[in-house]
Amino acid sequence: MINLLAIKFARNDKGKFSHAVRATRDRVNTTLSHSQVPFDVLLNELGVNRSTEHSPIFQIFMDYRQGYQDHFQFGHVEAELTANSAATGYDVHLEVTETVAGQSMIAMKLQQSIYSLANSELLLRSYVHLLEQFIQSPIGNVPVCAPSLWTEMDISNAIQIGTGMCSLEFHFLVITNMPTDSSMELTWPCTICHRVDEIVLAYPNSLAIKDGHGNILSYSQMSHRINAISGRLIECGVQHGTRVAVFQEPSSDWICSMFAIFRTGATYLPLDPKNGTHRLRGCVRVGRPAVILADSWTSASVSRLQAEDIQVIDVSEIQAGSHCDLLPNVATRDAIAVILFTSGSTGTPKGIMLPHSCLVSHAEGVEKAWNVGRNRVLQQITMSFDFSLHQIFTALANGGLLYVVPSRQRGDPAEITKIMLKEDITHTLATPTEYRVWFQMGVDALHKCSAWKWALVGGEALPKSVIQSFARLGLSNLALCDFYGPVEATIAITKGNVDYEEANTNHAIPTGHILPNYSVFILDSNMQPVPIGVSGEVVVGGPCIAQGYLELENLTNEKFIKKPATMARFVRAQEERLYRTGDYGRLREDGALLYQGRINGDTQVKLHGIRVELEEIETNVVNASNGSILQAVAVLRGDESKEKVLVAYVNLKPGLETNDKARENLWTTLRSTIAIPQYMMPSVFIPIDSIPINAHGKTDRKLLANLILPTRTTPCPAQADSEAQTSFTYAEHQLQSLWRAVLPSQVLDLTKDSDFFQLGGNSLLIIHLQRLAQRHLNTYVPLVDLIRCSSLHSMADLMVKSKVDDGQNDIDWEDEIKIPSSWLALQTSLVKATTPATDLTIVLTGATGYIGRNLLQLLADSPVVSKVYCLIRSQSRSKLTISSQKISSVICNLREPSLGLSHDVFSQISAEADVILHCAADRSFWDGYEVLRQVNVNSVKELARLAIPRGATFHFFSSGAAADCRGSANGSAAVDGPNGYVQSKWAAEKFLYNVAERFNLPVYLHTPSETRPQDVDAGVSVAILNTFIDCAKQVGARPRLDSIEGYMDLMETGHFVEKVCKVVFQDFPLQVRSGAAALPVRVMYNGVTRLPIESAMTVLGADDQWNSLQTMDPLVWMGEVKKNGFGFVLTAQNLIFSDGSERIISKR
């Protein structure tokens, strides 16, 4: 009968092996004296619960068997014993079998669910390796802690597989999963700016930089701009080693300023205004730049940086050709190129010094390993973040284009994704947090980014939800790549393609493979290497290791270490210095690195991809409290599924914890005085009686991170809260419910003056708020305005003004349609000349739109037309695809007085125009009249003013749905639903009636309208459906019609524009002008066929090709279809959009 015996050992690493053996023997003999009690009886008496998943009490089982025989001799017969061991129920099962022949056999069994085969083999090799070392001394004098735990072969394999490799070998590893050990020979020039000099010579006329301010520079122009800024720096005494800060609006000048600093041998210090004044002051104080390069946006703000003794150069005042001769590039490989500031535990930013050798080695390694080539790269990351350097070098060191997003659009995912689509961006780099909000707010644009090839993600652990979002895009040419590495090792040390299938497994997602010329070592607490698969601290070597921290010698010596002597035989000579990342991780057999978080006790976290020292936050909180807070502990709360927020637990001075009003004042004061950037500001302060400590006497951060957040942190008297609620306006009441949905759950008390950011809001949460307001309040406010108006009252007021106006009581319709009194003088100068029937000069708006471009072709081909003025927006010039000597493009802005034209240009066109064709309009489905007034009504007034002097015939394209306004009881533009478009057409018509009557101006109202009842077929037109299917194939998507009811009336585009031209040419001019007032003539364009949505869905739903396509927003789909040539004009629509709870009607 076998009985189990549980033994607890106390480990002592200080003795010798012989002592450990004797202690073990004595402990076993003592325990055996109590072995009579069956193990099951012990479990019953102790009340230990049984489980089918693990063994009770202990998880390691050792079975020592003596006198085991597998061969027996019975007379002349020899027998062999074979036994199959049962599956183990223990985590580790060690069998030591001593045979009668004096041999010992060792078998180790491990749980397959916990250990892989490679793990099991490694553990067994380690066990045998320890035994071999201990038996070297017959008397056991070997200290217990002396032997190495791992075999030299296992260590050698781990170091070899953690070494970066050359380009071909790198791809070979990815494909075959076979590790190799190699280094890449660097062939680029000595610095990154010398490399860019080569690119300038190779591609002088290729585009280098575009920005959101309209600047477009070729490589040659960029070189001239860099040279001009370099010259000014030299004039100001800048030389080798001078520190020069850049404090500018993100633009092409920022990029040129950086390279100008490099070329003069100086050191670049980025001071991004986005980081806030307190933070930048600390950077200036630590970095002590001799010069600050500002621009017209920031020059007035330099004084806030407390930089009184520093020279300031406004680069906006530097002329491009101020230095004609090309100045020499004096940058050297070993000189410090850039100092990047990160969070410091003392409350002061710490500067990381990166030499030119780091930058050029990293950029060349990435290019040769991944064949990046010439790409169009998005630059939207804060300039003080090291990822910005990667974006700049990826573009400009390889002959690509860099698009610099302006500050007003940074952080606005809707705007950024529009830029990606418009600029055909191929290469992006962002944190998982940033990508997540892109998918939330800009996914429609991302679906259409067919040029997008590389999406790099780094700065934080990659959540599987983000991978799934990329997979749902369905962009076949897009590769998602994970990017990992600290600033101290120059941007990144690993990069690897992410398989979308990884998101559907329980496996950890690797950060990628080691980049060329980097080495990654996994070291234990004694700074000794561990084998593949064993976790430890990630330590980096190679030519891209930073020089250290600016004027922080002790910290530099702690983090930048010499290569351990025990590793000398394994690593390359160039890896004498290593950097300790403080990250916990392990290497896989295929060379991929798995990141497992920060080492226990480390107070550094990543928030939105930015490294944050919690101790820096804590120090500044205590200092800013002026003694009110005795101790503070900052904790990062939230998981992958929720927005991560910083929470500050504070121990208040006696008496303050019971004074609600004093505490509330303290929280308000702290938010305005703590000298840290906004992204480091705690979302909430939670008073706590005492800061918990763990068994080691240290702050127990894990306990704090798992505390349930209180439901109320700044309690107010119930009466005050009730009064605040009842004093809310309706808009404020709606908005405060949205605030509660996005702010941390403990924020309950709101007043009119409550500030979104002071209650825990941040830049990401306000994006969520913008999306909810758009969805639930039917309003869209730009992020910059939401940030500016951050109180509940001001934000609600802003949303009311931006809201779609469903009621018309506040609009004075008589005022909207009356002729301005200033126009009365035009009557005396009215020319009554007869307009010719040939040699016509026509003014056309909307020439790049669907109807306009079809009309333009007929106008250009007509023999009676001699000239066509196309009034177009500046960004539409490239869309004017029709080429003719008759066509003259004129840049205008329909939102502005005089159409944005100069007085001379406006007068010239007015004196020449015979016919005005006004096709342009803002056809937004949901915007209210006040939003559409400028484009759809004011532009009509300005065009009428242009037509009056010469008496040009005015052709206006209206809407049949305006009849709903014309037939209203009070003669106003009252219609149901968000029909600002229809109201604007009604107002424009009424105004033109008044103009025609007053000035005898010929006016035609071209009015697309519904299909006549007698022409409506009971079925669905097969031709129309086939057109829909063909268009869907061209676009690669079908419209989502499942939430839409109603119908659309259609007319062939060719018939429509031919009828328009017939009116313009054959019926011109409008009768004979007599003294009688002229009235506008309405030309109807009834639909030829009707498409019922529900019937169409039934037919299309049975088509396999249709169903195989991805879906798209119907409005976006129609826009894409029209670009490709739809073949029909929508003459009328009556659509009902429903989301299950609300129904919105849209008429045309």
Tell me what pLDDT residue 546 has.
Answer: 95
Of residues 100 and 984, more confidence is placed in 984
Q: Is the pLDDT of residue 1074 over 70?
A: no
Say if 17-136 and 213-331 have the same CATH topology: no
pLDDT above 90 covers a percentage of the chain that reads: 31
Of residues 375 and 703, more confidence is placed in 375
CATH (one of 3.40.50.1000, 1.20.210.10, 1.10.1200.10, 1.10.760.10) for 732-740+750-805: 1.10.1200.10
> 1080-1135: per-residue pLDDT in tens?
999 999 888 888 887 777 777 777 777 777 767 676 677 777 777 778 888 888 77
Alpha carbons 595 and 77: distance in angstroms, whole number? 60
Tell me what pLDDT residue 719 has.
Answer: 35
575: CB partners within 8 A, 6+ apart: 519, 541, 542, 563
Phi, psi (5° rounding) for residue 458? -165, -175
Tell me what pLDDT residue 918 has.
Answer: 95
Which residues sit opposite 1009 in a β-bridge? Answer: 1086
Taking residue 340's Cβ as centre, other Cβ atoms within 10 Å add up to 25
Which residues sit opposite 580 in a β-bridge? Answer: 539
Report residue 901 as tokens: 């034209």
> 627-683: per-residue pLDDT in tens?
888 888 898 877 554 567 788 999 888 878 777 778 878 887 787 677 676 667 887
> For 790-804, what is the mean pLDDT?
80
> For 37-53, what is the mean pLDDT?
77
Which residues sit opposite 1089 in a β-bridge? Answer: 1050
> 210-223: per-residue pLDDT in tens?
999 989 999 999 99
Tell me what pLDDT residue 834 has.
Answer: 47
Residue among 754, 755, 758, 752 nearest 671 (CA): 758
Return the top range by mean pLDDT from 166-175, 719-728, 877-886, 1082-1091: 1082-1091
Q: Is the pLDDT of residue 197 over 90?
A: yes
What is the pLDDT confidence band of residue 226, given thresholds at 50, 70 and 90? very high
Domain ranges of the chain: 17-136, 213-331, 604-691, 732-740+750-805, 813-1008, 1022-1052+1079-1137
> For 692-712, what is the mean pLDDT?
68
Q: Is the pLDDT of residue 850 over 90?
A: no
Q: H/E/C letters for each residue in 51-70?
A: CCCCCCCCCEEEEEEEEECC
Tell me what pLDDT residue 166 has.
Answer: 37
Q: Which CATH class is domain 813-1008?
A: alpha beta
Q: Cα–Cα–Cα angle for 712, 786, 611, nearest 5°?
A: 70
Q: Is the pLDDT of residue 346 over 70?
A: no
Q: Is the pLDDT of residue 85 over 50?
A: yes
Tell me what pLDDT residue 1138 has.
Answer: 53
Tell me what pLDDT residue 933 has.
Answer: 85
> 150-196: per-residue pLDDT in tens?
988 898 888 888 875 433 344 344 433 333 344 667 889 999 999 99
Which residues sit opposite 64 in a β-bridge? Answer: 96
Of residues 626 and 1118, more confidence is placed in 626
Tell me what pLDDT residue 169 has.
Answer: 41
Contact status, residue 548 vs residue 353, Cβ threshold 8 Å: yes
Tell me what pLDDT residue 764 has.
Answer: 64
What is the pLDDT confidence band of residue 224, given thresholds at 50, 70 and 90? very high
Tell me what pLDDT residue 723 has.
Answer: 43
Q: Quickly tell me which residue has 């639909």 as its tokens.
A: 1087
Tell me what pLDDT residue 640 has.
Answer: 54
Q: Is the pLDDT of residue 309 over 80?
A: yes
Average pLDDT score over the chain: 81
Q: Is the pLDDT of residue 428 over 90?
A: yes
Tell me what pLDDT residue 829 has.
Answer: 43
Angle between helices 252-263 and 192-202 in degrees, nearest 10: 120
For the chain, the straight-line distance linking the first and the last C-alpha, in angstroms and rounded, comes to 91
What is the pLDDT confidence band of residue 581, given thresholds at 50, 70 and 90? very high
Tell me what pLDDT residue 1072 has.
Answer: 38
**CB neighbour burial string for 860-873, b if at least 16 within 10 angstroms, e if fewer:** bebeebbbbbbbbe
843: CB partners within 8 A, 6+ apart: 868, 869, 871, 909, 913, 915, 916, 917, 943, 946, 952
> For 124-150, what is the mean pLDDT?
83
Alpha carbons 447 and 475: distance in angstroms, whole number? 7
Q: Is the pLDDT of residue 199 over 60?
A: yes
Taking residue 746's Cβ as centre, other Cβ atoms within 10 Å add up to 17
Residue among 494, 435, 441 nearest 470 (CA): 435
Tell me what pLDDT residue 1105 has.
Answer: 74
Long-range contacts of 313-317 (CB under 8 A, 24+ apart): 313/232, 313/233, 313/236, 315/229, 315/232, 315/248, 315/253, 315/256, 315/257, 316/253
Q: Name the CATH architecture for the domain at 604-691.
A: 2-Layer Sandwich (3.30)
Q: Which CATH class is domain 17-136?
A: alpha beta
Q: Which CATH class is domain 213-331?
A: alpha beta
